[in-house]
Amino acid sequence: RDELYFVAAGTGRYRVADRVTKVGPGDLLFCAAHVAHGFEDISEDFSVWVVFYGPER
């Protein structure tokens, strides 16, 4: 499934495939299904909301 992330608090870096972006409160992030991704160097107060959508495989 595709994923949307909303950064509610804190800071960090978001990696999608070979691209890295600094993230902070209010940022909205997208990742297509089956693409390698993850958060790095997150602060202690880091929190996100995540929404999974699309057909299940």
Encode pLDDT of 7-34 as tens digits.
Answer: 999 999 999 989 999 999 999 999 999 9
Residue with the larger pLDDT of the pair 53 and 24: 24
CB 3 within 8 A of CB 52: yes
Please state the pTM of the whole predicted model: 0.86
Sequence spans of domains, the chain = 2-53
Nearest residue to 33 (alpha-carbon basis) of 6, 3, 12: 3
